[in-house]
Amino acid sequence: MSKTNCHRTRKAGFTLIELIVVIGIIVILALLTSASFSTFRAKAGQANCASNLRQIGLGFLGYNSENDGGFPPHWGGDQDGKVLAWYGFVAPYITDWKEPSSPMDKVFRCPSNPRPYNSGINYLSETRNVDQSYGYNYYYLTSNPSWALKYRMPALANKTKFVLVGDIPTFGDAKDVVNFGGSMPGLRLYPAATAGYDALMGVSKRHSAGANFLFLDGHVEHQNSQSFARDDFKDVNWIPSLQ
């Protein structure tokens, strides 16, 4: 009589431990992917912001060339008598300019600004414009006529160091503000998007604890805001000088 060997077949499937391991791996991969995407998105926002500032620099250059090397006011009347903020004076050189009351081009908005994009903001002067991303270091260049007559583009020194435009803090976001305090009274980045619209000069730290700055020669740098505003503060960055 022959023996028949009976083999038990094991059904394919996961044990509880295997299932837990698989879920753990999926969670880790998801976290890594999410972190990588967040980093990529932050870097992309910083790069797009820098591109905006370079275009704004070209706008200033265009204005300089047609105004005997002079700089646009932070706000004032144009040839048609309409009161514009500084971005309205440089916009015609870099955007499809329609009219001052038309919506501002997104070149004047930092893509990392968490405030929702407001398509109703235009180029007319708004001294308390909470939706702006960039501030103009105008004080010595345009606010005092006796200074402004001196500080024309061809006569200026240290063009690679003087800040022309920089990221300003997101209005209402206390974590985004690096204030200069009273160390340099009279300096401004316009508009001053700090709480209460006070006179303190502030910069943003929304780009990896730093901000993008457009310098007078047209180049853009990312700087650690805390260091740039305080520890490494130098007059040459904020006060123009003559050759």
Q: What is the pLDDT of residue 199?
A: 43
Q: What is the pLDDT of residue 29?
A: 74
Q: What is the pLDDT of residue 171?
A: 76
The SS3 call for residue 11 is coil
Question: Exposed e or buried b for every residue in 105-134, given b needs 16+ CB within 10 A?
Answer: bebbbbbbbebeeeeebbbbbbeebebbbb
Contacts by residues 49-53 (CB-CB < 8 Å, ≥ 24 positions apart): 49/110, 49/111, 49/112, 49/133, 49/167, 49/207, 49/212, 50/212, 50/220, 50/222, 52/106, 52/107, 52/108, 52/109, 52/110, 52/111, 52/134, 53/134, 53/165, 53/212, 53/213, 53/214, 53/220
Q: What is the pLDDT of residue 15?
A: 81
- Least confident among 11-20, 89-98, 167-176, 196-205: 196-205
What span, in angstroms and rounded, lies between the C-alpha atoms of 213 and 207? 11
Under a CB-based contact definition with an 8 Å cutoff, are residues 138 and 190 in contact? yes
Residue in the block written with tokens 């990392």:
112
Q: What is the pLDDT of residue 159?
A: 94
Q: What is the pLDDT of residue 147?
A: 73
C-alpha dihedral sign at 128, 133, 139, 141: negative
Please, what is the average pLDDT of the chain?
80
Residue 114's nearest CA partner among 140, 88, 141, 133 is: 133
- Going through 58-194 in order, the beta strands assigned E by DSSP cover 75-77, 83-85, 134-136, 156-157, 163-167, 177-179
Residues contacting residue 94 through CB under 8 Å, at least 6 positions apart: 55, 56, 58, 59, 62, 105, 107
Q: pLDDT confidence of 131, banded at 50, 70, 90?
A: confident
Residue in the block written with tokens 């394919």:
12
Structure token pair of residue 157: 């020194």
Q: Tell me the whole-structure pTM to 2 decimals.
A: 0.80
Q: What is the pLDDT of residue 222?
A: 94
Per-residue pLDDT at 216 exceeds 50: yes
Q: What is the pLDDT of residues 135-182, one digit of tens each?
A: 999 888 887 777 777 889 999 999 999 999 999 888 777 788 887 655
Q: pLDDT confidence of 207, banded at 50, 70, 90?
A: very high
More confident residue, 143 or 40: 143
DSSP secondary-structure letter at 108? G
More confident residue, 39 or 154: 154
The amino acid that residue 145 corresponds to is: P
Under a CB-based contact definition with an 8 Å cutoff, are residues 130 and 171 in contact? yes
What span, in angstroms and rounded, lies between the C-alpha atoms of 70 and 62? 11
* 211 φ/ψ angles, rounded to the nearest 5 degrees: -140, 160
